[in-house]
Structure 1
C-alpha cells in the first residue's frame, strides 16, 4: 500500500483503538498446566529464527500455489528450496485472533483473543520462551491492530510498531513493505552476531489496494469485460465492495483483483530484499524461516468481496505456509495443518523443552487425516455474529448459531465449498459426528485466563471513526 506522510498534528488511531475492539466470546473453564519454565537440552548453536506473516494474503494468489499470474517470483524461489504446505488453515479470519494463535500455540478462545483485542499478560508467548533461552527477540509490525502498548510486545526486547505513513484511501496509519523491510534489515545488520528471533508482519496486501503505479498496471487486463459490483454503505463485503475499499468510481471486479495482485507483487519485491540481506549476512541457509499469512481475503466466492472477518470459508482461512531450514525441509505436502503447529514445531527444532502440552503437531511429521482443526470468529460488521468450524478427515463443518445453521463441505472434492452436504442422506451421520466434536472443542481449554485484555466502551465519536476504518458497521 502506497502511503503519504501524516500531516503534523493529525490525530492517530491509537486514541481510537487503544483498548482493542473485540472481547472474548467465551468464558474461562478449568484447564491444564501452562508453561512453568523452559529447559534447553544439549544442542549445537541454535539458528536464527524469522517468522514472517503477511496480512490478508491468499495462498491461491501465489504462483507457487498454482495461481495463473506471476505475483510472487521471490516467494516461489524461496519455496523451491523449502517445505510448502498446500493446506494450512488459520484459526480466524482476522489479524488479532490469528496472530495470537500463531504466537502462542493456543486457539483464540483459549488465549481470549476472539477478534482484534490483544493477548492477556498471563499468556506465555513465543517471544518470552525464546528470550528465556538467550534469543534477541525483535519484532517489526505494520498493522495498527498490532500496535505497541496493548500487549503484543510481550517478550520482545525490541518491538518496532512505527507507522510513519497513512493509507491513501482511509488515511489509516500503517507502514508499507518498503519501510517495514528497511527497518527489519537495519535490525538484522545491527545484531548480526547475536542469536536472533524476529517476527515481521507486513501489512500489504491488506486493502485498500493501492500499490505503486508500476505494480498497479502490472496485472490489468483492459480487454476483459467489466463485472461491475455495487458499493456497500458499510464495511461488510457481502454482496458488494466494502465502503473502505472504494477506489475512485471504479466498481469492476477484475480491476480490484488486479490491484490486490499488484499489492502482492509489490510486497514480493521487498521480501526478496530481505532474503538477499540474509544471504549477504551468511544466515540464509542456516536460519529457520517460517512464512505464512494471518488470513485470506474475499474475492467473490460466496458473493463476498474484498473483505475478511465475516465468515469461515476457505477464502478467508486457507493461508500459505512455507518453512525453510537449510536443506533439511523441502518438497510439498497436502495434509491439513494449522497455525498452532508453528510454536511446537519451532520449539522442537530448537530443542527447547516446556511443561506445556500443545494441541499442535510437529510439522516435520505428516499429520493424521483425523486430526481436528478449529476456527472461530465474531463479526463486528454483522451484529457480532459468531461462527465456528472444524476440519477433519477432509471434511469441514461450519456452525452459525444465530441462524441455527450448519454447513458441511468435502474439501478434497469441493475446495471452494460450493456444495453444502449437510442434508445429503449419505453424509447425515458424518454431520452429526462433526457437530458433536465441534461442540466439545471450546470446552477443553488448555489455559485458564479469567479475563481477556483490558478494554473499555467506545464513545460515539470513536465508533464513527472506526466505521470509516472498516472495523465496525
Structure 2
C-alpha cells in the first residue's frame, strides 16, 4: 500500500513539474521575433566590422544571446526571404517569389502554430512588401502594417520611402507588450526597415560615419558600378551604417522596456536580418540582384528564457544554418511540436550545448534582372548557382579558398568534385 502511494505521489509530482514548465500560461515563455530589413552580418561589430555600428546588440551578444556565425537567408529580397522565415520552407515550396505570382496558401505559418497552441499573435511591420494581401498576416490575431499610414499623431520619420522609423516601431511594440493578455503567452513579431534604401538616417546617425562632404547619391539601385566613384560608394556605405546604428538604438529601446517588465526573463528573443545588401561588388547595389553572400549572409541571435535552460550566454555557434531553421527552433524552445511539413531543423541543441552545428546545404532563390530566376545551394565548402530552368549550374565557388566568390570554377574549367554534381539535384525546384 505504501509503495502504491509513493508511486501515485511520484506521478503527481512529475505531472506538476511538467505543467509548471510547459502547461500553465503563467510559465509558458513569450516570444519576441525581431526582423531587420537589409541587415548584413558583415556590417556588425560582433561579426568583425571595423565600425561601431551595433554597440547595443554587440553587448547583448556577449551577455545574453547566442550568436550564430553563419546564417544564410532563403532569398535575397524580402518576399521570398520572409515567407521562408514564416513557413520554414524554401521559396519553391511556398511560392512567394514575386508579388504577382500565386503562393502556397496551404503552407503552415509560425504564427498559426503559436496561435493554435494558445498564444496571442501580433505582428507589426514597416515593410509594404509584407502586407496582408501577400499572405504574411496568416495566423496573426493582429497584423499592424505601418509601411504607408500611421495612427494620428505618430507621423512618418522616413518620409522619402514611406517607412516608419525604428523608434516608432519600438514604441508600438512596447505598447503591445504593456497591453498583453495576462492569461495568454504572447508571440510578437516586429519588422524594422531602417537599413533599407534610401539611406537617410536621422541625426546624429546621419554624420556618424561620414568622412567628407561627398554628397549622398539618390536612387542608388538604379546606378551601375562603373558610374560610381570610390568616394560616392563610401558615402553610401556610411549612410547605410548610420541606419544600422540608429536601428540598433531603436531595438535597444524595445529590449530595455522588455527587460523592465515582469515577463522579460521568460521571453524567447530572436534577432535576424531578412537578407543582405550589395554595394556594387558585382556592378549593382541594393538586393535581389544575385545570390552571393553579400545579399544572403545575415546575422542571427537567439536568447532562450533566462531561467528556463542551460544555455551559454555569449556563446558563438560555428557552422552553417539556414533561416528556415529559426521557426522550428522557436517552437522547440516553447515546447510546441514542429509541423512535419517544415523543412527546417531545430537549433535548440546548439543553443543549449554550444559549439558547432553540422551544416546542411542551404537553398536560396531570387528573381533577378530581365525576369530571370536564380537558385543557389550553399554548403560549408561550395556554392552552386543556377539560372531557370535550373538544368545545370552556371556558377560554382569554393567559398573556403574564395570567400568573396570571385573565381567561378566553371569558367576556370576546373575539375569539379562529385559533391558538386550531387548538389545540382538540390537546384531543381519542387514547383
Please say whether Structure 1 and Structure 2 have the same fold, judged by a TM-score greater than 0.5: yes
Q: If the length of structure 2 is used for normalisation, what is the TM-score?
A: 0.82
Contact 2:333–2:348, Cα closer than 8 Å, also in 1: no
Task: Report the counterpart of residue 105 of structure 1 in structure 2.
Answer: 88
CA deviations over 1:415-472 (Å, ceiling 9, x no partner) = 22122223556641347515533334x23x7xxxxxxxxxxxxxxxxxxxxxxxxxxx
Shift of 1:222: 2.2
Q: CA RMSD in A?
A: 2.9
1:350 equivalenced with 2:340 (yes/no): no
Shift of 1:412: 2.4
**1:54-453 equivalence runs, <5 A:** 54-80=36-62, 81-116=64-99, 120-162=104-146, 163-164=149-150, 171-191=160-180, 193=182, 194-222=184-212, 235-236=221-222, 238-239=224-225, 252-305=232-285, 307-327=286-306, 328-330=311-313, 331-354=315-338, 356-366=340-350, 369=358, 371-379=360-368, 382-401=369-388, 406-423=394-411, 427-430=415-418, 432-434=420-422, 436-440=424-428, 442-443=429-430
CA deviations over 1:388-429 (Å, ceiling 9, x no partner) = 100124211111348976211222232221222235566413
Task: Report the counterpart of residue 32 of structure 2 in structure 1.
Answer: 50
Contact 2:381–2:398, Cα closer than 8 Å, also in 1: yes
Please give the alpha-carbon distance, in whole angstroms, between the structure 2 residues aligned to 1:178 and 1:427. 52
Which structure would you say has the larger RCO, counting Cα contacts within 8 Å and 6 or more residues apart?
A: 1
Shift of 1:240: 5.8
SS at match of 1:200: strand
Please give the alpha-carbon distance, in whole angstroms, between the structure 1 residues aligned to 2:211 and 2:332. 47
Shift of 1:309: 0.6
Change (3 A) 1:389 1:270: same
Please give the alpha-carbon distance, in whole angstroms, between the structure 1 residues aligned to 2:32 and 2:223. 33
SS at match of 1:343: helix
CA deviations over 1:241-286 (Å, ceiling 9, x no partner) = 89xxxxxx99711111110000011111111110111111033332
Change (3 A) 1:167 1:271: closer
Shift of 1:57: 0.6
SS at match of 1:376: strand
5+ residue gaps, structure 1: 1-40, 243-248, 446-473
Change (3 A) 1:355 1:103: closer
5+ residue gaps, structure 2: 1-17, 351-355
SS at match of 1:127: helix
Shift of 1:178: 1.4
Contact 1:237–1:308, Cα closer than 8 Å, also in 2: no
SS at match of 1:383: helix
Contact 2:221–2:284, Cα closer than 8 Å, also in 1: no
Please give the alpha-carbon distance, in whole angstroms, between the structure 2 residues aligned to 1:311 and 1:342. 23
Aligned pair count reads 389
